[in-house]
Amino acid sequence: MLHFAITSGHSSSYASAIQIGKRLRLFGPVRGETFNLHPVQYEKAQDRAKRLLTQLIETFDHDTTFDDDCPCVLSLPGVFSSYDVRAGEQLLDDLRFLHCPRSVIDDTWSGLVAGLSTQTFQTNGICAFAGTGASVFICCNQQTVRPYKRDGYGPLLGDFGSGFRLAMNVLEQFVRSETHGTPVNATQRLFIETVLLDEIVSDVTISGFPFSTDVTHWFHALQRDKPHDWRTHVAKLASKITQIADFDTPDSQMSAVVPICQALVDRSATEMAATIATGIKELENEIPPGCINITCQGGMFRHSKRYFNSVLRLLRDAKLGREINMKRAAYHPHVGAQLIATTTNYKTIPDPDRIRAICACFQNIHDDHLRATMFFGDHYE
């Protein structure tokens, strides 16, 4: 029997299936457009999800069939209400998973399973997620319900410490400085030219009219032309900022910009560390005793060494009364969803041997890009 995992984040989606028999067989993963049900209209999400599943089925051999009773796990951002669960279940119905054992889960749960269970073969700990969005999930004695999640209400209402928040802080800061008559000095001008305009608004220039006019033009056009995906495009600015913030020996031109980028990354790290610390303090009587394991998911943690190290330093300085063991997740949340899909109870994880076998399948994917997406490898120390 096939066990399906279908996941969608803010920027992309994935689908795969594991066949369990004398040996495990992995079909996929395949990649498609996001069908995150919060920003994407249902009809658009349905169309994208169907195309993704079709891609996956095309990878099956002639002996493999897609039956209506195949178990499936659907992992999505921000699944914290009965409404979100019902919307996910409706999507599974439309994908022909009508009568199958299935579960709609939050991506912080699949992210925690992908991070902790593959390292420690248990799930008591924390998943700190910081990509386009951000949230913190705390697992206490296998409890996976909303009260143990902090933040994660979406880029516009919460998600402090996320790439989207960092990018919006930058845009707001410089637009506000111009509209309030604060002069832009040479360093700030260099930052605008080398980071902002070069990375995102490269189709307009700052000569001839104020930077705020450029950003307004670009921002409105982005929301109009990409109504489902504009938040992800805004968040791309964060990748350039975090890259510059990590420069050890910048060239003479960029050396003036590095401190600006570092301050922005440090501010985001402070927001994320505060969310984690708040969750630990609120649930200190429920979190099992001993060291607290934190697994980190999302591009802010994965691509920014400064962000990771700043969050870790702030948590250790917060005097939480616990030892903090924090590492980047070795696997993408999709791997966690696939692990969960092979269990009979979607709040548990497989036994260690099956975890190792499934992870080995994802490490041996032939497509280099997909393998690098699913398996992150070494951790920051």
pLDDT computed for residue 379 by the predictor:
44
Q: What kind and span of H or E run contains 316?
A: helix 305-317
Kindly give the pairing relationship between strand 134-139 and strand 125-130.
antiparallel
pLDDT computed for residue 155 by the predictor:
63
Cα separation, 174 vs 190, in Å, equals 12
Nearest one of 264, 280, 314 to 161, comparing CA atoms = 264
Half-sphere exposure of 162 (CA within 13 A, CB side): 26
% of the chain surpassing 90 pLDDT: 45
Question: Which has the higher per-residue pLDDT, 140 or 239?
Answer: 239
Q: Judge whether residue 175 has pLDDT over 90.
A: no
Q: 342 in helix, strand or coil?
A: coil
Q: What is the mean pLDDT of residues 9-38?
A: 91
Cα angle vertex 85, ends 84, 89, to 5°?
A: 120
What the block records as the tokens of 361 is 């399948």
What the block records as the tokens of 360 is 């080995």
Q: 257 in helix, strand or coil?
A: coil
Band of the pLDDT at 380, cuts 50, 70, 90?
very low
pLDDT computed for residue 87 by the predictor:
93
Mean pLDDT highest for which of 47-61, 155-169, 172-186, 285-299? Answer: 47-61
Question: Which has the higher per-residue pLDDT, 90 or 149?
Answer: 90
Cα separation, 155 vs 266, in Å, equals 19
Whole-number mean pLDDT of the chain? Answer: 84
Encode pLDDT of 347-367 as tens digits: 778 889 999 999 999 999 999
- Name the one residue in this structure whose structure tokens are 């960092």: 166
pLDDT computed for residue 206 by the predictor:
46
Report the CATH superfamily, name and number, of domain 2-115+334-374.
ATPase, nucleotide binding domain (3.30.420.40)
Amino acid at 359: C
End-to-end CA distance of the chain: 40
Which residues sit opposite 326 in a β-bridge? 294
Q: How far is CA 181 from CA 172, 174, 175, 214, in A?
A: 14, 11, 10, 16
Q: Judge whether residue 27 has pLDDT over 70.
A: yes
Contacts of 89 (CB under 8 A, 6+ apart): 102, 104
Query: pTM for the whole thing?
Result: 0.88
Cα separation, 372 vs 377, in Å, equals 8
Q: What is the mean pLDDT of residues 176-189?
A: 64
Encode pLDDT of 132-146 as tens digits: 889 998 887 655 545
pLDDT computed for residue 209 by the predictor:
47
Q: 345 in helix, strand or coil?
A: coil
Q: Judge whether residue 6 has pLDDT over 60.
A: yes
Band of the pLDDT at 204, cuts 50, 70, 90?
very low
Q: What is the mean pLDDT of residues 99-112?
A: 90
Contacts of 211 (CB under 8 A, 6+ apart): 174, 175, 178, 184, 192, 196
Cα separation, 148 vs 313, in Å, equals 23
Q: Judge whether residue 177 has pLDDT over 60.
A: yes
Question: Which has the higher per-residue pLDDT, 1 or 204?
Answer: 1
- Let me know: does 38 contact 65? Beta carbons within 8 Å: no
Cα angle vertex 23, ends 18, 28, to 5°?
A: 30
**How many other CB atoms sit within 10 Å of the CB of residue 228?**
16
Q: Judge whether residue 271 has pLDDT over 80.
A: yes
What the block records as the tokens of 348 is 């548990």
pLDDT computed for residue 373 by the predictor:
92
Q: What is the mean pLDDT of residues 208-213?
A: 56
pLDDT computed for residue 200 by the predictor:
56
Domain boundaries, the chain: 2-115+334-374
Cα angle vertex 280, ends 279, 284, to 5°?
A: 125
Q: What is the mean pLDDT of residues 20-35?
A: 90
Q: 246 in helix, strand or coil?
A: coil
* Ramachandran sector of residue 321 (left: φ over 0; alpha: ψ -120 to 50; beta: rest): left
141-157 burial, b at 16+ Cβ within 10 Å, e below that, comes to eeebeeebbbbbbbbee
pLDDT computed for residue 295 by the predictor:
94
